[in-house]
Amino acid sequence: MTMEDAKATETLPPNAVGPILRAGEIADAVIDAIVEDNPGKDVVVVDRGDYVRIHTAGQCRLSKGTLEKFLGREYELPMLEIEMSSFSGRLRTRWNEYVWYLEH
């Protein structure tokens, strides 16, 4: 699965969670990684030119390994916070994955 599998749209579902990133190489790799890390879920991408909103319904997982696969190099997940201007939902961080979710 790749970025082409994500749905480009201008609207988000009411339970959408996920990162808002500066557009560029990292954002493109994050989109591809989120598509792969969230099988069976629709990945919604709202492209605003300078930044992109990347969301799934209810929970959105991003793993270090999958992101590195699409970047083609090592990447420490805390570095993502430099690119992430905001996010929707709550965020649980671990050394090997970030998970955005809704608190129930």
pLDDT value at 3 more than 60: no
Check the CA dihedral 58-21-23-10 and report its sign: positive
Going by DSSP bridges, is the β-strand pair 84-88/16-22 parallel, antiparallel, or unpaired?
A: antiparallel
pLDDT value at 74 more than 60: yes
Q: Which residues contact 42 (CB under 8 A, 6 or more apart)?
A: 7, 56, 57
pLDDT value, residue 9: 52
pLDDT value, residue 103: 82
Which CATH number does the domain housing residue 91 bear? Answer: 3.90.56.10
pTM above 0.95, yes or no: no
> What is the domain extent for residue 10?
3-101
Query: How many domains are contained in the chain?
Result: 1
Residues in the chain: 104
